[in-house]
Amino acid sequence: MTEEVVLQEKTQPQSRRFFIFFMVAAGIIALDQWTKWLVIRSIPLNTSWLPDSLEWLSPYARLLHIQNRGASFGMFQNGNLFFVILTILIVAGIVYYVSQMEHANLWMWVAAGLYLGGAVGNLIDRLVIGAVTDFVSVGTFYIFNIADASINVSVALLMILWFLDHRASQKAETAKTEGNP
């Protein structure tokens, strides 16, 4: 095999992974912005909505249109400029990390795409309207959006992948030491 063919084989899977990474991120950004647009258009600010047939669900879950000028759980209100700068740094860090990542597990790339999509989705809100539009209300606990959910799913997925990888490496190490007395 020529050097060019070997190089193509090594870079082909990584380009496919980058494609998946960016497509996941783009899909999350599009879904997040579309749902926020629907909420802004259909539900007045600081009001909730639930179909009449599901009114019994109101204490537990509903759509509640708010604008969050802080972080998760409404912490650090009115820190928009700080969060814009922080998010830009996080986005740059994710893109840099992924460009250096050689991990073969495709789910790592999906998790990174979920995180990037969520971060950019909320960044767009902060830049365009000065606050993040949140609308999914679960009890009195948390009001969130697609971008927030995407970030949380990404973190959970990364934790699961780390645990599985750690467990597999421990098993491999155990098998290696048991094989060599």
Give the CA distances from residue 103 to residues 40, 48, 92, 107, 136, in Å, rounded to whole numbers and listed in that order.
Answer: 39, 43, 19, 9, 34
Pairwise CA distance, residues 151 & 132, whole Å: 14
Annotated catalytic residue 165: no
Provide the β-strand partners of residue 144. 136
Say which residue the tokens 């309207």 belong to. Answer: 129
1 three-class SS: coil
Q: Hey, how many other C-beta atoms are within 10 angstroms of the C-beta on 105?
A: 12
Query: Of the listed 32, 52, 125, 148, which one is catalytic?
Result: 148
- Contact, 79 vs 71, CB < 8 A? yes
Residue type, 84: V
Residue among 96, 91, 163, 77 nearest 121 (CA): 91
- Contact, 136 vs 21, CB < 8 A? no
Query: Of the listed 32, 52, 125, 134, which one is catalytic?
Result: 134
45 three-class SS: coil
The residues carrying an active-site annotation are: 134, 148
